[in-house]
């Protein structure tokens, strides 16, 4: 498990944290997840973690396990706290859980083609592009953007 600088802590996402999470989500994205999306993920038992500094939500992720695969659905760091390695911390926690608790063989994700910062993070972590989904993400005024499909083997 990645080391966190005190007083940072990683804990399970709960409905009580959704107001703070939605504040971040709405600032970070032009097409954010809704409260219903997060609530559905929690009810479905998806693996969802929040990185906290005291009572302040710094970031979070939501992932879904399907057999021997884990699919990262959302990984977000508050724009106020980006550039501090928190996305790497969250991704490291997800990889550890996927390997050692979920016993998954593969980790999958989709990322906007234009999100070069996230793509570099994922590539640095060992993800490789395995495909693209044309016109997957909404952009604006009915336009859509390609999603880059990436995967990483969790076992050498």
Which of 25, 46, 60, 122 is an active site residue? 122
How far apart are alpha carbons 16 and 20 in whole angstroms?
Answer: 9
Residue 97 CA neighbour count, 13 Å, CB half: 21
Q: How would you classify the pairing of strands 106-112 and 47-53?
A: unpaired
How far apart are alpha carbons 155 and 148 in whole angstroms?
Answer: 22
Whether 136 is a known active-site residue: answer no
Residue 28, both tokens: 């970070």
Instruction: For residue 74, say whether it is annotated as part of any ligand binding site.
Output: no
Which of 25, 60, 110, 145 is an active site residue? 110
Spatial strand order in the sheet of 69-77: 8-12, 47-53, 56-66, 69-77, 106-112, 144-153, 128-138
Whether 110 is a known active-site residue: answer yes
Catalytic residues: 110, 122
Q: Which residues sit in the known binding site for acetyl-CoA? A: 115
Residue list for the binding site: 115
């Amino acid at each position: 498990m990645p080391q966190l600088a005190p007083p940072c802590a990683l804990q399970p996402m709960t409905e009580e944290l959704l107001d703070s999470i939605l504040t971040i989500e709405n600032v970070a994205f032009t097409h954010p997840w809704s409260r219903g999306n997060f609530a559905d993920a929690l009810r479905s038992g998806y693996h969802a973690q929040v990185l906290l500094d005291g009572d302040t939500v710094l970031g979070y992720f939501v992932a879904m396990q399907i057999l021997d695969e884990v699919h990262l659905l959302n990984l977000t760091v508050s724009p106020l706290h980006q550039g501090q390695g928190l996305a790497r911390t969250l991704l490291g926690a997800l990889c550890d859980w996927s390997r050692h608790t979920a016993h998954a063989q593969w980790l999958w994700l989709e990322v906007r083609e234009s999100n070069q910062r996230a793509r570099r993070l994922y590539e640095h972590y060992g993800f490789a592009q395995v495909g693209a989904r044309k016109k997957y993400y909404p952009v604006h005024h009915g336009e859509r953007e390609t999603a880059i499909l990436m995967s990483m083997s969790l076992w050498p």
